[in-house]
Every structure is written in structure tokens, then in C-alpha cells.
């Protein structure tokens, strides 16, 4: 082999070495990035679930059926409390 071939082989091997080192570093960074993205997706899903719960609560309170349901629950609870007080007073 003459000098030109040795220079070419040395240059190509150095280029391959640099390429391998850079690709390993990029692969590690990509793995870290996917872990962070997974955390963000999980947080987003939690936020979406909480938003769905809030929407359901607001829907129950703003619809006529929800308002009537809440009102009737409160009326029934107060009537039950009155009846239990009357039965306690009558049993004495």
C-alpha cells in the first residue's frame, strides 16, 4: 500500500469512529427524550381525566335533572332528620 491509501484508510476509519461516537450520544439523548415524553403523556392523561370529572360535575349542576336531583336529595335529607327527631322525642 502506498501513502495515499494509508491516508484514505486512516481518514475513513476516523470518520467511522466519529460517526459511531455521535450516534451513541444521540441514541442516549433520544432514549432520555422518550422517557420525558412518556411522563408528559401520563400527566396529560391525568389532566384529561380530571377535566372529564369536572365536566360531568358541571353538567350535573347545570342541567335541570341535576338541579332537581340535588334539590330533592336535600329536601329528603332534611325530612329524614325531622322524622328522626320526632321519633326520638315521642319515644321519651
- pLDDT on residue 54: 82
Report field, pTM of the whole predicted structure over 0.85? no
- pLDDT on residue 88: 63
- pLDDT on residue 50: 87
- Which stretches of the chain drop beneath a pLDDT of 50? none
List pLDDT tens digits, range 47-70: 888 888 887 777 766 666 667 777
Return d(Cα 65, Cα 77) in angstroms, integer: 18
- pLDDT on residue 18: 97
Amino acid at each position: 500500500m502506498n501513502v495515499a491509501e494509508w491516508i484514505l484508510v486512516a481518514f475513513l476509519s476516523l470518520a467511522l469512529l466519529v460517526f459511531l461516537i455521535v450516534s451513541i450520544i444521540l441514541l442516549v439523548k433520544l432514549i432520555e427524550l422518550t422517557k420525558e415524553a412518556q411522563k408528559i403523556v401520563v400527566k396529560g392523561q391525568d389532566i384529561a381525566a380530571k377535566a372529564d370529572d369536572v365536566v360531568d360535575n358541571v353538567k350535573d349542576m347545570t342541567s335541570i335533572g341535576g338541579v332537581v336531583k340535588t334539590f330533592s336529595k336535600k329536601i329528603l335529607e332534611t325530612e329524614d332528620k325531622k322524622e328522626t327527631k320526632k321519633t326520638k322525642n315521642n319515644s321519651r
